[in-house]
Structure formats: structure tokens, C-alpha cells
Amino acid sequence: MSSITVQAPAKVNLSLRIVGRRPDGYHLLDSLMVPVSLCDALTIAVSRGQPELVVTCDDPAVPGGETNLAYKAAALLCGETGVQAEISIALRKLIPAGAGLGGGSSDAAAVLKGLNELLSLRLAEDQLCSLAARLGADVPFFIPCRPATVAGIGEILTPVPPLPSRWLVIVVPPFGVSTPWAYHRFDELPPPEMPPADVPRRRLTHPWDAALLINDLERAVFPEYPQIERIKAHLLRLGAEGALMSGSGSAVFGVFQSCTTAEQSATALAGQGKTFVVEPLTGPPTIV
């Protein structure tokens, strides 16, 4: 038997604009996504024997069987490459589910990359991204796993220059937000104002500028979940340069220049839910 452990980072959206909708109902995005140092860990083991796929998770709230996205990723890869083996995946969850941090998508991408390495399949990054797109809109981002603008329904990735150093405080209240519900509620609202044409360019040169931290889904989510809006306001009162809901929520992050200030703010917000002090990542964690 051979095994490896793969880290699966969370992500935050420094911006999330919804710029259209396809006839099939998928929303078209203009987003800036950044992986961060809050990670799940997946231990993947492969051995000879009767073909079998088993996924377990240490979080009872996360299903470990065929409905788990990590399971679907392994099944898809094996089906596409003709691999027949006994595969077990043990998932240790640190990224809260239903928080807009991409944990399930990152787990799926980690399985694709981990099995590609473990089985010496030699699939190129673009091949892995193609498989990832069949699993979910956020999954392709986690294949290269570096800061990027995201367009289309999540499959068009453009790497961005290195971001200035910052610390992020992520606050996850004790409830999740359904992504389909958030987008459906957004569709019921008047169309958002589109930003000036130079915003995408300024966003790349000043990624932490509070005026450029925009999430169109906040308009849909805040009225139903006012606690998320209150957490955002609290982060700003504690000295965050900017704050924003990530994805469809419920997580909110604040941007800090100082690690000490970030840690103090996380302590002050501990009563609001789970808090994490993280750094943006410049690339994927090492597979060990």
C-alpha cells in the first residue's frame, strides 16, 4: 500500500461580481479568489486488491460516502483513466462547511491532484482542470491553487501578480448559507450597478482596497442573515482595512496589516462563531 497526505486550502473572494446568466441557469462571474492557510487534510491510500473506494470524514456533519465531493472526484478520475484499485480517503476537516470558503471544492481538487501523483498518471494541469470543472464551479480554481481572477462559471482562470502581504481574520457564524438559495435570492433583486470599466485593473494593483472589496451576494444574504452584516461591521470597527462576506457566506473576513491586531480582533470576535487568523497563499501546499 502507498499513501500521501494532501492539504486542501480554503479560499476567500476579494470580489464577487455576477455579470450575467447562461440559458442553463448558471451565473457568470467576475471574481478575484485567493487561497488561504486554513486547510483540510486528506490522507489518500492506494493498494492492490478488489476495486473499492471508501471516503471517511472526522466531521459527523460532513457525509463520507458517495455524496461527498471527494468521493465523486476519485470516482471520476478512476472512470476516466481506467484505474482499478482499492482506494481509501480519510478527510480531516478544519474548513467549516456551508461558509463560502470552498472547502468541499478544495477537497475534490486535492483528491484529483493526490491520486494523479500517487498513481503516476501524469495528467497535466489543464487536464485536471477539465475534470475539476465537471465536479463544480469552484473546483478548477483549486488545481493551480494560486490567486487568480475567475470568469465564466468558474472555469476561466487568470493568475494575478503576487498580493501585498496581509493577515486575514475569518469569522464563521454558527450557521451556513445555502449557495443555491443565495443565488436564487439574488435573481429576485434589481440588477446591481456595474462598476466603472477600470475597476478590474485597479483591483489587481490594489487588491486590499476597501472600496474594491465587493460581493454582489451580500445584498441577497444580509437581509435574511443580519448577523453576517453585523460581523462585517464589527471587523471594521476593530480596525480592519476592509471586510467582506466570502462567496455566498456565511463566512466574513477582515483584512489587517498586523498579525498582532488580527489576533486581537479574532479574540474579540470569538463569541460570534469560529475565528481563524490566516495568510493568503501564493501557491498550492506541498504534497507529502
Residues forming the active site: 11, 138
Q: Are 66 and 79 in contact (CB under 8 A)?
A: no
Contact call for residues 30 and 200 (beta carbons, < 8 A): yes
Which residues touch 109 (CB under 8 Å, ≥6 apart)?
8, 73, 128, 132, 139, 140, 141, 142, 143, 145
Gyration radius from the chain CA atoms: 19
70-90: string of b/e by CB count within 10 Å (b at 16+)? bbbbbebbbeeeeeebebbbb
Q: Does residue 143 contact residue 114 with C-beta atoms inside 8 Å?
A: no
Contact 253, 247 (CB under 8 A): no
CA-to-CA separations, 227 to 8, 192, 230, 282, in angstroms, rounded: 28, 22, 5, 31
Residue 239 in grid coordinates: 480596525
Q: How far apart (Å, rounded) are the C-alpha atoms in residues 122 and 133?
A: 19
How many CA atoms does the CB half-sphere of 187 hold within 13 Å? 13
